[in-house]
Amino acid sequence: MPSNLPEPVGAQKNVVYLRDSGHVVVLGTAGSGKTTMAVTRAMWLANHAPKIAGPTLLVTFNKALVTFLRRNMVSRTPNLVVENYHTFAKGYLASRGMMGRRDIVDGEKYQLIENAIAEVQRRYPGVGVLKRPLRFFEDEFHWLAGHGVTDEQTYINADRIGRGRPLMPADRPYVYAVREAYWRLRRELGKRYDWDDLALAARKAFEEDESPRRYRHVVVDEGQDFSPEMIRSLAAAVGSNGTVTFFGDYAQQMYGRRLSWKSLGLNVRNGAVQFEQNYRNTPQIARLAVALSNMPFFRDDVDLVEPKIVKADGPLPVLVEYPDRPTQFREAIELARRLGRSMTVAVLFRKREHDADVSAQLPFATRLHKKLTTWPLGPNVFYGTYHAAKGLEFDAVIIPFCDHDLLPDPVEVEAHGPGEAMSREARLLYVALTRAKVRLHIMYSGKLTSLLPTDPSLFQRTTPK
Ligand X SMILES: Nc1ncnc2c1ncn2[C@@H]1O[C@H](COP(=O)(O)OP(=O)(O)OP(=O)(O)O)[C@@H](O)[C@H]1O
Binding site for ligand X (CB under 6 A): 1-2, 6, 8-9, 12, 28, 30-36, 249, 252, 279-280, 391, 393, 434
Least CB distance to ligand X at residue 31 (A): 4
Nearer to ligand X, 120 or 251 (CB): 251
Q: How far is CA 331 from CA 33, 334, 347, 460, in A?
A: 32, 5, 11, 17
> Could you tell me the smallest distance in angstroms from the CB atom of residue 25 to ligand X?
14
Of residues 36 and 366, the one with the C-beta less far from ligand X: 36
CB of 428 to ligand X, least distance (A): 13
65-102 burial, b at 16+ Cβ within 10 Å, e below that, comes to bbbbbbbbbbeebebbbbbbbbebbbebbeeeebbeee
Question: Smallest distance from the beta carbon of 34 to ligand X, in angstroms?
Answer: 3
Grouping H, G, I as helix, E, B as strand and the rest as coil, residue 57 is strand
Rounded distance between C-alpha atoms, residue 461 and residue 414, angstroms: 32
Q: Are the CB atoms for 448 and 406 separated by under 8 Å? A: no
Phi, psi (deg, nearest 5) at residue 56? -130, 135
Rounded to a whole number of angstroms, the minimum distance from the CB of residue 293 to ligand X is 12
Q: How many residues does the chain have?
A: 465
HSE-CB at 45 with a 13 A cutoff on CA atoms is 29
Q: How far apart are CA 25 and CA 234, in angstroms?
A: 13
Rank residues 61 and 143 by Cβ distance to ligand X and give the closer one. Answer: 61
β-bridge mates for residue 349, sequence order:
385
Query: What is the nearest approach in angstroms of ligand X to the Cβ of residue 76?
Result: 19
- 92/298 with CB nearer ligand X: 298
E-strand stretches of 206-363: 215-220, 238-248, 273-275, 277-278, 308-309, 318-322, 344-349
Q: Are 397 and 441 in contact (CB under 8 A)?
A: yes
Nearer to ligand X among residue 223 and residue 340 (C-beta): 223
Q: Which helix (H) or strand (E) holds 108?
A: helix 108-123
DSSP 376-397: --SSEEEEEETGGGTT--EEEE
Least distance to ligand X from the beta carbon of 367, Å?
A: 19
Give the 3-state secondary structure of residue 25: strand
Nearer to ligand X, 54 or 391 (CB): 391
Closest separation in Å from C-beta 352 to ligand X: 21
Pick 310 or 413: Cβ nearer ligand X? 310
Q: Please tell me the distance from the alpha carbon of residue 242 to that of residue 52, in angstroms, as a whole number.
A: 8
**C-beta of 228 vs 391, nearer to ligand X:** 391
- Distances in Å between the Cα of 90 and the Cα atoms of 63, 98, 248 are 15, 9, 23
Taking every pair of Cα atoms in the chain, the longest distance, rounded to a whole number of angstroms, is 67
Q: Which helix (H) or strand (E) holds 411?
A: helix 410-416
CA angle in degrees (0–180, nearest 5) for 422-286-276: 100
What's the closest the beta carbon of residue 203 comes to ligand X, in angstroms?
25
Cβ proximity to ligand X, 336 vs 392, nearer residue? 392
Of 36 and 56, nearer to ligand X (C-beta) is: 36
Residue 18 CB, shortest distance to ligand X, in Å, is 16
Q: Which is nearer to ligand X, 37 or 458 (CB)?
A: 37
Q: How far is the CB of 30 from ligand X (least distance, A)?
A: 3
Q: Is there a contact between 3 and 72 (Cβ–Cβ < 8 Å)? A: yes
